[in-house]
Amino acid sequence: MSTHYVMYDFQWDVPVDAAEFEPVIPDDYTGLVIKYPAHITEETNIQGLKVWVELLGKYPDPEIITNNDDVATTVLRLVEKSETPAALRLKEEIKGLMDDEISNKLVDFLMPIRGLSRFYRWLQFDKKEPAYYGQTVTPKDADKVLMRWKVSDNEYRVIYGDLHAETVTPEKLAELEANLPK
């Protein structure tokens, strides 16, 4: 997906009170307020991947990470078929609830996974050359590259299958990616 915006007529240095950015939600509001991570970072991405694995036992397919705007809805659909302990607990907690009750209950619980695709797209937008290997790398592949992106001409950031992260050289990255499962 690509979006083009044109903005103009900016007024610079206009004093703004921080309170103007606080949402005003009436006490009787019954809709859903969806929360996204305040800052979508490597750490929030790792947290989202952890929650995904707890619920589904594997990493998301690449199309979910690279193209999906509504990751939370996707994970809920997939949880219906999952038998992991976390998925079974979640299904028990929401059993018998109405759709809006389920949505409200899960807003905070699913918050970590909401930023997964946004993190990847942010890397793409910033021309960080991201790559994601969730179709072949599993949580048991501690030393395999799950995700990587360019930090500079001589550094890449790598998240491994066990969700630890480190910075590596292009040569080390090439070696790691050569050993990826097919």
Main-chain dihedrals φ then ψ at residue 158, nearest 5 degrees: -130, 135
Are 169 and 94 a contacting pair, CB within 8 Å?
no
Least trusted range by pLDDT, from 38-42, 62-66, 76-80, 100-104: 100-104
Strands (E), the chain: 131-132, 145-152, 155-160, 165-168
What type of residue is 124? Q
Q: What percent of the chain has pLDDT over 70?
A: 92
Judged against a pLDDT cut of 80, whether residue 59 lies above it is answered with: yes
34: confidence class by pLDDT, cuts 50, 70, 90:
low
In angstroms, the CA 123 to CA 21 distance is 27
Q: Where are the domains of the chain?
A: 40-120, 129-178
* CA nearest to 48, candidates 95, 39, 80: 39
Look up the pTM and report it: 0.76
Cα Rg, the chain, nearest whole Å: 19
Tallying the residues shown for the chain, one arrives at 182
* CA nearest to 73, candidates 34, 26, 20, 131: 34
In angstroms, the CA 98 to CA 95 distance is 9
Check residue 104 and give its pLDDT.
Answer: 76
